[in-house]
Amino acid sequence: MGKEREITIEPVTRIEGHLGVHVKVDTEARKITDAYAYSPMFRGFEIILVGREPSEAPYITQRSCGVCPVPHALASVQAVDMTYKVSPPPMGVALRDLVHGAEQLYDVEVGVLNLEGPDYSEVAVKKFNLEWWEEAQKTKAERSDVHCFATIANIMTALNPLAGELYLRSLLVQKAGHNMVSIFGAKHPHVHSFIPGGIAKTNLSETDVKSYLTLLMRHIAFTKELVTATDDLLDFVLEQGYEDVGARKTNLGSVGAYNDPEAYSAEYSEMTDWSRKRMVSPGVILNGELVTTDLVEFNVGVREFIGRGWYSSDWQQEVATDPLGNAIALEHPWNKRTIPTPGKYGNWDSKYTWVTSTRWWNWKGDGRNHVVELGPLARMWVTAKAKLIPESTGNSLKFELPAALIPGFKYAEKMEFEWKIPEKPNAVERIRARAYYHAYSAYCTLNMVLNTLGLMKAGKTGVWTHYERPKEGIGFGAIEAMRGACLHWCVMKKGVIHNYQYHAPTTWNASCRDPDGNPGPFEEALMQTPITETAEAEEWKGIDVVRTIRSFDPCLGCAVHIHKGKQIVKHELLPFAIPL
């Protein structure tokens, strides 16, 4: 090993500021040799929920995030459906999913163009990879007939924070997503209409659905520009030798999304069947092989170790089996408790984070715990490989979006899309998959609108199922948030929550070292990542570090502190003006 340098970036910028990264770099080999991702903030929502009625959980848990509250609300209300043993009518399922689809559309635009895009903008590339900029000015954009940017440099300029065309137009289109959510969710962020047994939308009309469709067409028009510009940019970045940045093993997980409204039920025993009818497929890929598409099997395999987290594992095994009789581990969220035990900051050899160590136990296969990545890349990969839907070929997803003649958008014709399984997970392919997921979500949401109109035509307009609340119950809810699988578990005793646990996608992706010493997905993706900055080693700022982390699109904040040994460099600029 050559000379070693340590860099700490905390918090990583641009969204929700409770994540830091500490890396060790071999400056001669120009590679990261070790990495620790950590969160310095504890919130305790799971503790707050104990003793409350389960029906309150969807309203409280979605306060975890103002960017993506709907997946928490949806996963939570599904967990409560199961706990109460009440299945919504088809229209209730359909309207919930229309709310979810609308948020997914706006959230991709946030991620690709406002959070990740600036890392590859003119401002950042000139500062950190100047030779890229010189080449980009000479490189024609192959899909310019759709997005209308002549060169790669033009695309980079369009991603400049607070000034670039794509950056600013994204903010305008996002408004359509917020408005779509509000039609059936009452407001956004933090929807008010999700209730056990369905949705509180008693005055449903065909006009509501048509208003939603009108706004959806804006996303359908914009996604053609978004995907083609992203493809051109990322193809160029790969040509600069970026394929190993953020690369890790092909261990991926998805719980699926976008339900068949006639199939969904709150019965755990029926979950395998109805989840396989989702337009986004559930499944787990280990070492590149699809090992299951069974959501029950996924649930049983979840294990949440304390690992190097600032918590205690002093809890009891209260749930021994799931409703089908499958053995449930002590570390499963139906048993796990949230017991904070604050520790020392920066102690990398011991406990160092408020994030736990979530793993997937391949209980029907090799019997081992696996470090599994969640996110758009994972769900696109699983869906393409599973062949549970007509759009899946086994190695790609193929679908078509219709013509959309909308003033202000550049391409009106219909367009065919095909997302192909890449060679390996890396920073570039995570962003590409997110862009394609925008197009695929638009496709799925358009189909859901047509299904909703079909339900109305058939007279199936009921949105809620009456129920008598039991005193005891157990539930599990799972849906794909933009950043990956969102999972909620509820145990009810004496009519109130006895234990409630939930996982945001970043719970998995930012997980710490497990009891066997294995790093989490962020950490694993950083290890062996090459450093591409053109500056001398002592001036490296860590652009490849944050490009890797932001490719997962975690919840981050709007300031940066860089530690160089005992020296701390503060960047006190406008939040989005900071290239890092």
Domain extent for 266:
4-244+253-467+476-577
Pick the closest to residue 451 from 94, 194, 93 (CA basis): 94
How do residues 160-176 score in pLDDT, each as one tens digit? 999 999 999 999 999 99
Q: Confidence class of residue 538 from pLDDT cuts 50, 70 and 90?
A: confident
Identify the pLDDT of residue 143.
98
How do residues 394-430 score in pLDDT, each as one tens digit? 999 999 999 999 999 999 999 999 999 999 999 999 9
Q: What is the mean pLDDT of residues 59-74?
A: 89
What CATH code is carried by the domain that includes residue 437?
Answer: 1.10.645.10
Residue 568 pLDDT > 90: no
Residue 554 pLDDT > 60: yes
In single-letter form, the type of residue at position 25 comes to: V
Identify the pLDDT of residue 563.
41
In single-letter form, the type of residue at position 242 comes to: Y
Identify the pLDDT of residue 569.
43
Listed in sequence order, the residues at least 6 apart from 492 whose beta carbon sits closer than 8 Å to its beta carbon are 54, 83, 470, 471, 472, 473, 474, 475, 498
Identify the pLDDT of residue 537.
86
Identify the pLDDT of residue 66.
75
Q: Which long-range contacts (CB under 8 A, 24 or more apart) does 397-405 make?
A: 397/436, 397/440, 399/439, 399/440, 399/443, 400/443, 401/220, 401/223, 401/224, 401/439, 401/442, 401/443, 401/446, 402/220, 402/446, 404/217, 404/218, 404/220, 404/221
pTM value > 0.75: yes
Number of folded domains that form the chain: 1
Per the CB < 8 A criterion, the answer to whether 338 and 47 are in contact is yes
Identify the pLDDT of residue 16.
64
